[in-house]
Amino acid sequence: MLESLKKMFSGNEGDMPVNTGSKPDISREKSKELYEKAKTYFPGGVNSPVRAFKSVYGTPLFIQKGDGCFVWDADGNQFIDFCGSWGPLILGHNPPKVREKVIETMQNGMSFGAPTALENELAELIIKNNKHVEKIRFTSSGTEAVMSAIRLARGYTRRDKILKFEGCYHGHSDSLLVKAGSGLVTFGETSSLGVPKSFAEETIVIPLNDTEALTQAFAQFKDQLAAVIIEGIPANNGLLIQDPAYIEFLQKICKDNGTLLIFDEVITGFRLGFEGAAGYYNAKPDIVTYGKILGGGLPVGMYGASAEIMGHISPDGGVYQAGTLSGNPVAMSAGIAQLTELLKSGFYKELNAKATEFAEGIQRFATARSYKFKVFHVGSIFWFAFTDKDKIQCAEDIDPASMEKFKVMHRELLNRGIYLGPSGYEVGFVSAAHTKIELEKAKRAILEALDIVFRK
């Protein structure tokens, strides 16, 4: 036993750490002061709800700057960051190549509301290297991209209903702020006040990874479903990695019923590989949506499909969609600079290998200690789950009570200079800027935090 344990620990984990004890809380004086001010200006003191630290200890940290894999808060605390602005920063914070291109473009102005060559340049980078899109349209956020993709699917099929999955997030447009009602296949219930019940009735919600529910939904709403929308790999409510067979089934049932399959790749696009989850599964979605990484940290979204389907978008077709700042030159420049780096040979191989080693090292330690803890990971996305299940593939499999453990872990990690998104339902991201040294440091802090979480 001892020998096998030693073997497990050989290399990275060593025989450390052993219950080093909680560290004192970091100073948050400046952040607290800013937060009090912010609360007088913004609901909850924030401009997007998850930033408010409602499910972890303390007040939100106000970030002052980022560089590489690090961020610094207003009190001068330094953190190794695994939030990466919720996914866009695959090259880390403030990469010189992106910054320089943005500054160069800004010398000539910020917005024209007329076409620029930069839009062509970014579109060409994407279309030449992605077999899933022949034509695209840029938007200014992921929400907008998904909302427009749904409208396109409805316009193209002349059908009204859409189907989504419990545990997938697709931005905050009305049709998609809908959760499952009771029963296997039901009309959705609104998950936000302000969404009309009649809208929710056009959205069917079923569990992930459940072929029976899919079959039943298609039987029940025969010839009514315009689209099925799924996150390429669901990564907004834990990391719910679907089996390839399920994705295949999904494609087939959509095809057989004349329903368009939308892959919402706002997180997974350019993250799992240049072709995102569609590339990962070798799937053929009819419409794809991208955001986050696409804009290199500036606000950009996009949807794309075959030229035939995209021909339905105005001004070519009858589906209206527009944007004052769509294709903004500064944002396009950030996208061009970032995607150019991603296309360099070996980029994903190196990043994914680094992230895998990080995730597996943490898992080896937790397993050796018999902790009820799993690191689910794919590509450079990881998720810490306090569970003993080997697979978590639908929202229902996540135990809400386990989030108490995440809360303790989050605090211990902040106090050790590690920044994770402030919710146990959120995934973390390894970027190209995380060096092996920083990942080793982070791993050590995570192991220490786990020892504290599971301290008897």
Ligand X SMILES: *Cc1c(COP(=O)(O)O)cnc(C)c1O
d(CA 72, CA 1): 43
Note if 292 is an active site residue. yes
Closest approach of ligand X to the CB of residue 69, in Å:
21
Closest approach of ligand X to the CB of residue 245, in Å:
22
- The structure tokens listed for 211 are 């072929």
Residues in Cβ contact with 107 at an 8 Å cutoff, skipping those fewer than 6 apart: none
Q: Are 206 and 185 in contact (CB under 8 A)?
A: yes
Which residues is 304 bridged to in the sheet?
A: 136, 288
Give 167 or 301: the residue with its C-beta nearer to ligand X.
301
Q: Which of 266, 287, 293, 305 binds ligand X (CB under 6 A)?
A: 266
Q: Which of 34, 38, 89, 146 binds ligand X (CB under 6 A)?
A: 146
The reply to whether 291 sits near ligand X by the rule CB under 6 A is yes
The reply to whether 148 sits near ligand X by the rule CB under 6 A is no
Q: Are 290 and 301 in contact (CB under 8 A)?
A: yes
Note if 264 is an active site residue. yes
Which residues is 225 bridged to in the sheet?
A: 161
Q: Which run of H or E residues covers position 15? A: none
Give 74 or 381: the residue with its C-beta nearer to ligand X.
381
Give 165 or 371: the residue with its C-beta nearer to ligand X.
165
d(CA 260, CA 304): 13
Closest approach of ligand X to the CB of residue 63, in Å:
18
Helix (H, G, I), strand (E, B) or coil at 262: strand
d(CA 277, CA 172): 22
Helices 117-128 and 329-342 cross at an angle (nearest 10°) of 30
What spatial distance separates the first Cα and last Cα of the chain, rounded to whole Å? 23
Give 185 or 427: the residue with its C-beta nearer to ligand X.
427
Tell me the window of 96-104, 164-172, 186-194, 430-438 that interacts with ligand X (CB under 6 A).
164-172
* Contact string 214-253 vs ligand X (x = CB under 6 A): -----------------x----x-----------------
Q: Which of 170, 354, 443, 444 binds ligand X (CB under 6 A)?
A: 170
Residues in Cβ contact with 344 at an 8 Å cutoff, skipping those fewer than 6 apart: none
Q: Which of 105, 130, 141, 326 binds ligand X (CB under 6 A)?
A: 141
Closest approach of ligand X to the CB of residue 272, in Å:
13
The reply to whether 98 sits near ligand X by the rule CB under 6 A is no
Residue with tokens 């991209």: 145
Residue with tokens 């995730």: 359
The reply to whether 169 sits near ligand X by the rule CB under 6 A is yes
Map the footprint of ligand X across residues 5-64, applying CB under 6 A.
none
Tell me the window of 139-147, 207-215, 311-319, 358-366 that interacts with ligand X (CB under 6 A).
139-147
The reply to whether 276 sits near ligand X by the rule CB under 6 A is no
Q: What angle do CA 212, 233, 276 make, to 5 degrees?
A: 135
Give 31 or 268: the residue with its C-beta nearer to ligand X.
268
DSSP secondary structure code for residue 397 in this structure = G
The reply to whether 295 sits near ligand X by the rule CB under 6 A is no
Q: Which of 31, 143, 326, 393 binds ligand X (CB under 6 A)?
A: 143
Residue with tokens 């953190």: 79
The reply to whether 287 sits near ligand X by the rule CB under 6 A is no
Closest approach of ligand X to the CB of residue 138, in Å:
13
Q: Which run of H or E residues covers position 64? A: strand 63-67
Give 291 or 335: the residue with its C-beta nearer to ligand X.
291
d(CA 218, CA 261): 13
List active site positions. 169, 264, 292
Q: What does the binding site for ligand X look like in residue numbers (CB under 6 A)?
A: 141-143, 146, 169-171, 231, 236, 264, 266-267, 291-292, 301
